[in-house]
């Protein structure tokens, strides 16, 4: 079955960098890319347990006459043939419905704020809603395109952390990039985490695939994040609390996203692991 990544193209310099991140991810994950060139600043995504209205800022409508040409050229340069989609269904005349049957979706930290207002520690509420509702992981790229040379999975032992680990192992196999684990252990021993791996039948796979396990029993989590390579793709799980106006994630997720500038791949609570 074909693996697909969904990308909303923004015809600006920032949009170019983010699109290049998506294209690079597709090359590494052996995935195809599905591109949406928005004609309106809003669209709906119908998930199983939530409906998310995405409100784009006006920059997504920049130079519509050249948007497809620019997107196609960037894709061609990456050796990828893009598939452009046009909405077939509309909830209102200017409110298209976008399908959600993708394997990945690229979301900048905020899709409804101008780039000048986007800060490292701010994930927009609509992006949080998508992460919380989607059955696919969300690729949250850095603002400047950078190839990643390794994969770092944050593993804290939770059910979502296990899903993130399986995702990281899969990407490591597909991309042939080394995989490292990162654990802030607190009072738990490494044996405790190894037991979780054994229970999930992941111990042998981790032993064979993982290059290193950064296991911290001391120091502040935020300070230990300095050990994450600048050119690593960070993979982690997130769990949500509520779906009304805002979504709060676990403290680990919040510290990671507000500290690291790396491109991140986030598996939300409804992410379904594909074998």
Listing DSSP states for 143-180 in one string gives SS-----EEEEE--SSHHHHHHHHHHHHHHHHHT--EE
User: What's the pLDDT tens digit per position in 177-202?
Assistant: 999 999 999 889 999 999 999 999 99
CATH number belonging to domain 4-140: 3.40.50
Q: What is the CATH number of domain 150-267?
A: 3.40.50.620
Domain ranges of the chain: 4-140, 150-267
Is the distance from CB of 5 to CB of 102 less than 8 angstroms? yes
pLDDT digits (tens, 9 = 90+) for 42-63: 999 999 888 999 988 899 999 9
Contact 151, 232 (CB under 8 A): yes
pLDDT-based confidence at residue 120 (cuts at 50, 70, 90): very low
**Single pTM value for the model:** 0.91
Percent of the chain with pLDDT over 90: 72
Has residue 86 got a pLDDT over 60?
yes
| 272 and 237 Cβ atoms separated by less than 8 Å | no
- CA 123/CA 109 separation, integer angstroms: 5
Pick the closest to residue 174 from 2, 35, 25, 33 (CA basis).
Answer: 25
Query: Using one digit for the tens of pLDDT, what is the confidence trace for 130-173?
Result: 888 899 999 999 989 999 999 999 999 988 899 999 999 999 99
Which residue is associated with the tokens 């199983």? 48
* Same fold flag, 4-140 and 150-267: yes
């Amino acid at each position: 079955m074909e693996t697909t990544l969904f990308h909303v193209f923004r015809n600006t310099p920032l949009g170019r960098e983010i699109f290049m991140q998506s294209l690079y991810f597709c090359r590494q994950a052996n995935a195809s890319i599905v591109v949406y060139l928005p004609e309106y600043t809003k669209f709906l995504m119908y998930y199983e347990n939530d409906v998310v209205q995405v409100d784009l800022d006006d920059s997504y409508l920049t130079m519509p006459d050249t948007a497809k040409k620019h997107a196609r050229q960037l894709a061609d340069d990456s050796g990828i043939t893009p598939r452009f989609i046009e909405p077939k269904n509309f909830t209102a005349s200017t409110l298209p419905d976008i399908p959600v049957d993708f394997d990945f979706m690229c979301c900048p930290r905020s899709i409804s704020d101008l780039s000048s207002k986007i800060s490292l520690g701010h994930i927009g509420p609509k992006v949080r809603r998508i992460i919380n509702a989607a059955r696919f992981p969300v690729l949250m790229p850095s603002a400047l395109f950078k190839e990643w040379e390794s994969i770092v999975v944050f593993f804290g032992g939770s059910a979502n952390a296990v899903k993130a680990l399986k995702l990281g192992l899969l990407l490591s196999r597909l991309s042939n990039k080394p995989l490292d684990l990162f654990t802030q252990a607190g009072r738990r021993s490494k044996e405790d985490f190894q037991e979780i791996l054994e229970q999930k039948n992941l111990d042998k796979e981790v032993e064979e695939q993982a290059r290193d396990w950064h296991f911290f029993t001391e120091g502040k989590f935020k300070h230990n994040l300095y050990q994450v390579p600048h050119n690593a793709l960070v993979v982690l799980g997130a769990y949500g609390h509520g779906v009304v106006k805002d979504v709060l994630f676990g403290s680990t997720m919040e510290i990671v996203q507000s500290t690291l500038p790396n491109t991140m791949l986030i598996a939300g609570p409804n992410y379904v692991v594909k074998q």
